[in-house]
Structure 1
């Protein structure tokens, strides 16, 4: 699969991985729809891209998941169709379970899971009618195994895998593809913006994120996985080996994570 003449919709496009995707895809002969909550940042990304005339912005908030049918209708009208939806928007969390307000768990589920699911379901009839389409979902390695201080985040990301694996099975007959992208540590602001126990932002970077993959390297690997229509892709440094350790022994993975000082 190539991106030429495709219409690609990216959520969480105002910074980090989403911004990197927009910059890289703008070099190719495709059209982009960029979404996030922040219109000013989206406009800045659009101006930074090549061929900005092929890029439209559509601000909205994933937390308002009841509005996704209207949002999706507006998106389709921009270029007349959508070929690929890259579900990249979301937030993270850093706090011990015992201290974390249930409102934080709720917010993570509303944004990372329900917002993404509602948007994808709203677009599904369009994909079925066209008998084609690809969902790309940026989950996390934390959607495959867990880590301390990320309970709400891990829960939401695990849920995404359950939903989209089912969608892939149900709509194989409609030629709809699902690619789950599982990043390890990527050097973005995800840790700074992560919610703490009371719902406030952490406000600082952690060492593992700071030393993670550069966004441009990550994006190139991610786009390769999308082109190949992979079911899942694990992209990171040594933390990716957790996927394979889990297959050997859950108890061993438990010990490795406790000793790795990822918190």
Structure 2
């Protein structure tokens, strides 16, 4: 089992939800943290709840022209980085026919392009040190799509293809990839989810309100990091659907069309 003590871990999307819970859990493991998100005041609040070292590095994953400079700043904070946790993301609450293309593009910019830009910037650093780990917060919707989440599911599916390639290309350099697929977790993600016109959903979904406690999810992710798991599924019965789709695709199609996801 790999120790996280004294590891330099960069967490994006650290201002709330899974990112916040991960930051606190990792700080208790003795990690040295770099906390990133757009809202500096929220990052500072999270930092106050961490123990040990934590540096703040605001970023906007949609500002592609800033991400090279942000990566250089991240590397300068402790002199190196051991782990990047790509957690920054945004969800969706709309049917395909009512969703503007600008909404799909924004989801892809945040959930896919921003994270892989940071990965591309860091991979040479990991290779030069012959160690490094990318931890990617995907979703069970990275394994199967559901109604009302077409763009969100597409962005998460894209992550799996990209990081499967990263894992295969750099395994000889001791660069590890851990894909994390949470199910329904009780966070505020449904509030900031985009509706078809690009406006925020601004409410807690019934399903989300009954989800797994975020602290429990964070503990499971930390365990997957320590064990350098390639892929881990975290949740309840929604995880079972991954296996139903894999082994009984026709049955999956019949079930998923009836699923209520809002």
Q: Name the TM tier (shorter chain).
A: over 0.9
| Separation of aligned partners in 2, 1:251 and 1:205 | 32
1:202-258 C-alpha deviation (Å, 9 max, x unpaired)? 011111111110011111111111111111100011100011101112111111112
- How much does 1:262 deviate? 2.5
Runs of 4+ in 1 over 4 A off after TM superposition: none
Helix, strand or coil: the match of 2:111?
helix
Q: Tell me, what secondary structure is at the counterpart of 1:197?
A: coil
Output the CA distance in 1 between the equivalents of 2:85 and 2:146. 25
| Corresponding position: 1:136 with 2:135 | yes
Counterpart position of 1:26: 27
TM superposition shift of 1:25: 1.2
1:159 aligns with 2:193: no
Contact 1:66–1:118 (Cα < 8 Å) also in 2: no
- 1:225 aligns to 2:224 (yes or no): yes
- 2:8 aligned residue: 7
Consecutive unaligned residues of structure 1, counting only runs of 5 or more, are none
Q: Which residue of 2 aligns with 1:41?
A: 42
RMSD: 0.9
Q: Where does residue 204 of structure 2 map in the other structure?
A: 205
Shift of 1:64: 1.0
For residues 48 and 79 of structure 2, the distance between their equivalents in structure 1, rounded to whole angstroms, comes to: 23
Q: 1:50 offset after TM fit, Å?
A: 1.7
Q: Give yes or no for contact 2:148–2:261 (8 Å, CA) kept in 1.
A: no
Q: Is the 1:65–1:119 Cα contact (8 Å) retained in structure 2?
A: no
Task: Report the CA distance between 1:107 and its aligned residue.
Answer: 0.3
Cα deviations across residues 162-198 of structure 1 (Å, max 9, x unaligned)? 0000010001111100000001000001111100001
Counterpart of 2:28 in 1: which secondary structure? coil
1:232-243 aligned within 5 A: 232-243=231-242
Question: 1:40-85 CA distances to partner (integer Å, 9 max, x unpaired)?
Answer: 100111112122xx11000010001232221111001101110000
Cα-to-partner distance string for 1:149-170 (whole Å, 9 max, x where unaligned)? 1011011110000000001000
Alignment-derived partner of residue 145 in structure 1: 144
How many aligned positions are there? 261
Partner Cα separation in structure 2 for residue 5 and residue 49 of structure 1? 14
